[in-house]
Structure formats: structure tokens, C-alpha cells
Amino acid sequence: MNIWSYILKRVLLMLPTLFGVVAITFAVIQFVPGGPVEQAIMEMKTISGVSEASGGGEAHYRGRQGIDAARVEEIKALYGFDKPAGERFWQMLKGFATFDLGKSFYHHMDVWELVVSKLPVSITLGMWTFFLTYFISLPLGIAKAVREGSRFDSVTSAIVLIGYSIPGFILGVFLLVLFGGGSFVQWFPLRGLTSDDWEQLSLMGKILDYLWHITLPVTASVAGAFAVMTMLTKNTFLEEIRKQYVLTARAKGLSERTVLYKHVFRNALIPLVTGFPAAFIGAFFAGSLLIETLFSLDGLGLLSYESVVRRDYPVVMGTLYLFTLIGLIVKLIGDLCYVWADPRLQFESLNR
């Protein structure tokens, strides 16, 4: 099977997967209480109750009285709930086919524009998390594998495991309390990526201000991923170092440096390189909800959480469709990278 046949087959398999995810989520949403229609009605009742209560001595509080049936139908039509679920699902699918993700109920703007507006924050947090994780974890994992059993290995393993055992959100709270003006010192800001006077700063001032704001959230984000990648790198290199071809290379008189970087390095990096696309994209779209909420960073994680709480269904379904599609494409790219990194593999083996 050549590469193009394999890609075509995988793309055809993506379609039912994508359809299944969207269909199941849409079906579940139909049974979730407190939808946008109910929330709009409750808001109208609250406003009506407040106005009646403050209207004078003869006014009576009527906030619990029902809304006129015609008004309810208008609200349903406004949100598109005047149509059967099947028709709404079909219209949504037709929009997704042309990448029309709909319009947000709450933000009153296209979901595409909303996602794009939140991307800078998530990209900033994701890029720093990804590069720091790889650029620190790979050398550290290799050093631990080469020095297995040494004091360096034991000490770094203890530090890495302690970092892994502390959730990023808890670490973020600890950092805020310790360095963000909690009970100790205020060396770093509590929220945002820039200061209010950022536009008036010089170029170097803007860079320093940005780094000042991003230090705590990036530190909290890197902790868990850093530990996992370090131990994965160590175990992968240890597995390769113990193989027969390494013993043969050493028996031929090759130096340890040559054995490590010429023979072990490429084979050991295969699982790490193939996970590169998924880790790169995942740093932007996964695991940032709690960090963004804690540090008041208005990114995709916070947007996803707020859309679920507010029952902003176009945002929920649109972002779900977009992220699922990106995940499937990244998985395909990862498989292609696997074959590229290890030519011994064939596309037929990836289908099993």
C-alpha cells in the first residue's frame, strides 16, 4: 500500500468517527436541562421581578409568573429551537461541511471569529509549555538513562516525581500564594498576559512585561508534562541501550559517545518524534482550562468551560467539531512521521 492509498483510507475512516462524535454530543445536549431558552426565560423573569418590585407602592412582585406563550415561541425561534432536533442537526452538519461553525448565543459573533480571538492566549501558553517540555526533558532524560542508578539519577527522579504528583492547578495556586502577592511576596502579577500600560512601553519593556506575566502560568503548565516526557525519554533510551546491537557496537570498540549518538539516538527518538505533532497541537487545546481560569487568561480553555456552563451550544458543538477534526488529522500525521522516522515499517502494519 503506497502513501496516498493509506492517506485516502484514513481520511475515509475519519468521516464516520467525526460524525459519531458530533452526533452523540448533539444527542446528549438535547437532554441537558437549563438550555439557552430556559436561561433566557429565567433572565426575563428576574428582570420583570426586579422592575415590578421597584415600581411603586401598588406594584406587586410577579417574577415567578410565567412568560407569555407567544414570547416563549419567539425565544425558541431566536435560538433555532422552534425546529425539530433532526432538522437542526442536519443544518448543523451542512454548516460544518463548509466550516460554518454557527453563531454564539452569548457572544453574538461567529464561532470561527470567537475561536480566532482566543487563539493568541492559548498559543502563547501552549508554545512555551511545548518547547520548554521538549528542550529540557530530552537532554535530562538522556542524561538519566546514561547515568542510571547514579546519585544524579536518583535525585532527579525524586524531583521529577514530586513535580508530577502535584497537579498543575495546585502548583499554580501555590505559586500565586508564594510569589503573586498572597501571604509572602508579590514578584509576579496575578492575571493577564500584559500590563494595562503595555502599549506605552518600549520594545524591550514589552518583552520583559510579557515574560513577567507568563512566568507563573507556564511554570504551572510545564510541571506535569515535563515529568512525563523526562521519564518517557529515559525509559526509551534504556530500552535501546540494552539491545543486542548496542552490545555488538561496543564489542567492536566504538566509543560510548559514538554508540549513543550514532546508533541509539535515532532509534530511541522514534516514539518521541512520532508524538511530536500530537504534543505540539495538544499544548494549545488541552489541559489549559484550569490554568487559564486560575490566572485569568482569556483563551480557548476558558471559552470551552464558559460555553458549557452558559449552554452556548453553537460554541460547544463548533469547537468540538474543530478540535476533533484537528485531533484526527494530527493522529494521521503522527503515523506518517512514524514511517518517516523508521523506514522499516510499512503502512500495512499501521492499519493493524
3-state SS, residue 197: coil
* Phi, psi of 186, deg, nearest 5: -120, 80
Contact 103, 310 (CB under 8 A): no
What domains does the chain contain, in order, with CATH numbers?
A: 34-98 (no CATH), 111-350 (1.10.3720.10)
Model pLDDT, residue 223: 76
Give me the torsion for CA of 85, 89, 92, 94, rounded to 10°.
-130
Residue 335 has pLDDT above 50, yes or no: yes
Residue 180 φ/ψ, nearest 5 degrees: -105, 25
Amino acid at 139: P
Which H/E stretch holds residue 41? helix 36-53
Question: In the predicted model, what is the mean pLDDT of residues 289-306?
Answer: 77
pLDDT top residue among 46 and 161: 161
Please check the confidence at residue 14 and state whether its pLDDT lies above 50: yes
Query: Average per-residue pLDDT in the chain?
Result: 75
Q: Using CA atoms, how far apart are residues 266 and 248, in angstroms rounded to an integer?
A: 17
Q: What mean pLDDT do residues 220-243 have?
A: 80
Give Cβ neighbours of residue 214 (< 8 Å, ≥ 6 apart): 124, 125, 128, 193
Q: Would you state the pLDDT for residue 51? A: 47
3-state SS assignment for residue 214: helix
User: What is the pLDDT confidence band of residue 221, given thresholds at 50, 70 and 90?
Assistant: confident
Tell me: pLDDT of 296 over 50. Answer: yes
Residue range 45-63, pLDDT digits in tens: 665 554 444 454 444 434 3
Among 228, 345, 343, residue whose Cα is nearest residue 279: 228
DSSP string, 95-134: HHHTT---B-TTT-SBHHHHHHHHHHHHHHHHHHHHHHHH
Question: Comparing 128 with 73, which gets the higher pLDDT?
Answer: 128
In tens, the pLDDT along 63-118 reads 334 566 776 667 677 677 777 878 888 888 888 888 888 888 888 788 888 888 88
